[in-house]
Amino acid sequence: MTLRAGTARVDVTPPLGLPVGCWAARRGLARGAREPLLAQALVLDDGEAAAAVVAADLVFVGAELAQAVRERVGALTGIPATAVTVHASHNHSAPSLARGATVGGLPDVPAFGRYADLLGDLLAGAVYAAWQRRVPARAGAARGRVAGVSGNRVRRERPVDDTLAVLRIDRADGRPLAAVVNFAVHPITVGGVTLEWDAEYVAPLRATVERAAPGVECIFLQGCAGDVAPFDWWFGNGEASPHGYEARDRLGRAIGEAAVAAYAAARPADASVGAETVWLELRRRRHPYAAAELRELLAELEAQPAPDWPEVWGPEVHTMTSAQMFPREYQLGALRMYLDMLERADEPVRAPVVGIRLGDAAIVTNPFELFNAAGARIKERSPFPTTIAAAYANDYAGYLPETADLDLVEGVPLREIIDQDRWRWAYGITNTNVDRGEVDRLVEESVALLERLRR
């Protein structure tokens, strides 16, 4: 069998004049774009099996959008929906689009309605173009590390997974075609200091790789970054290094340079393709807070006047401390999420896990903000020499910490747990939708899927 591969990209930059980004503590509208926001597609086809990877400079890909893309790709190309995976980089400088996401408590922004309606066709169209551009290809993979650019924002004493993986795909004549790069760190470097759309650190990362290998399409797949932030950005750090494009570009270049080294180390060869989707039904978390208490506190907060936010953040505002400065929106979000958990207590959290094999390398995805230790466990147990563990894919199902982390918030009263001065450090633990022990099921099922693809 002969591998064929194709790539394509489309511009998904939102219109100007719409609310900027994902930060609550500002009220500005977009006045420009630092660079285009992209959606990129990679198609792999060995004559017997085919798969497609879509990566977009978005914060979320909800279940509704992912399903629309997967179904449309099937109609356009014949690639089964079970072999299509749709990713968000989790870019916090993109519009806040939560429509169709599994997790509750995330408000939709009506201003983005028409833009959101177009996204499915834009992303599926990129796959169609990539399918039409398939050429004979060879593939290889390599790993590396990016030390010193990330830390654990929840428990800063804990280590983080700083490993990087690169899939290298060349044309049959050796010319570059694609580089799929995987690393885990939150794209929050710019914060609320600008009124521009931007692709976060993924933009300088792509530029670094594409400059080193002219003709390559650099596609970034976000790792399991639920508790991983850039630099010294742990929750509550009032002395954290500042936001801005300088921080963004420094982080993107560091990851990009490590990706270039791994790309050079990869040795492309003939490769076969395989793909499978597994749907998990995970128990929803049962918290101790009563509906009446939640609604009472929610009414109290809703009756308070909204803060007079600036258009952009001043130097005193940082994402690691913004919840303490502007607690009301974070508290409202937590209470709405807790109510949603009660209302859907008997409804499992449905989570698609997608695996794609490319020769001696594999991609395995999940829809969570999975904490990095669980992502590292998947990679360590994988039967493939190089494994990309990618989160924020095919839905947005919220945070998923380790089971032992839930013990850290056990028995805390409601009015205390939403106190951002005392409990902001536990963000990602306090607001997970998934019950204890279920993260281990996700790890086990991900590893089992990889083992089936390896056979």
Instruction: List pLDDT tens digits, range 151-197.
Output: 999 999 999 999 999 999 999 999 999 999 999 999 999 999 999 99
SS3 label, residue 115: helix
For residues 430-435, give the mean pLDDT: 96
Predicted local distance difference test score (pLDDT) of residue 22 = 82
For residues 211-221, give the mean pLDDT: 98
How many percent of the chain have pLDDT more than 90?
Answer: 91
Token pair 């056979």: residue: 455
Please provide the distance, in angstroms rounded to a whole number, between the alpha carbons at the two ends of the chain: 17
How confident is residue 23, by pLDDT bands cut at 50, 70 and 90?
confident
Report helix angle 438-454 to 372-381, nearest 10. Answer: 30
Query: Is pLDDT of 307 > 90?
Result: no
Query: Is pLDDT of 105 > 80?
Result: no
CA distance 454 to 3: 17
Query: Is pLDDT of 101 > 90?
Result: no
Q: Give the residues across from 41 on adjacent strands.
A: 8, 54
Predicted local distance difference test score (pLDDT) of residue 158 = 96
User: Burial, 170: exposed, middle or buried (Cβ in 10 Å; 0-12, 13-18, 19+)?
Assistant: buried
pTM confidence score = 0.97
Query: Is pLDDT of 108 > 80?
Result: no
Predicted local distance difference test score (pLDDT) of residue 308 = 83
CA neighbor of 231 nearest in space, from 208, 215, 254: 254
Predicted local distance difference test score (pLDDT) of residue 237 = 96
CA distance 143 to 131: 27
CA distance 327 to 312: 17
| CA angle, residues 299, 304, 305, in degrees to nearest 5 | 140
Predicted local distance difference test score (pLDDT) of residue 103 = 85
Predicted local distance difference test score (pLDDT) of residue 142 = 98
Q: Give the residues across from 182 on adjacent strands.
A: 165, 221
Cross-sheet strand order for the sheet of 349-358 = 273-282, 349-358, 361-365, 386-390
Which residues lie closer than 8 Å to 360 by C-beta, 6 or more apart? 140, 141, 271, 384, 385, 386
Q: Could you tell me the two tokens for 194?
A: 């600008």
Interval 261-304: pLDDT, tens:
999 999 999 999 999 999 999 999 999 999 999 999 999 999 99
Predicted local distance difference test score (pLDDT) of residue 309 = 83
Contact indicator for 348, 281 with CB cutoff of 8 Å: yes
How confident is residue 7, by pLDDT bands cut at 50, 70 and 90?
very high
Query: Is pLDDT of 259 > 90?
Result: yes
Contact indicator for 109, 116 with CB cutoff of 8 Å: no
HSE at residue 137, side-chain half, CA atoms within 13 A, is: 30
Contact indicator for 167, 361 with CB cutoff of 8 Å: yes
Query: Is pLDDT of 107 > 80?
Result: no
Q: How confident is the prediction for the chain on average, in pLDDT?
A: 96
Interval 220-240: pLDDT, tens:
999 999 999 999 999 999 999
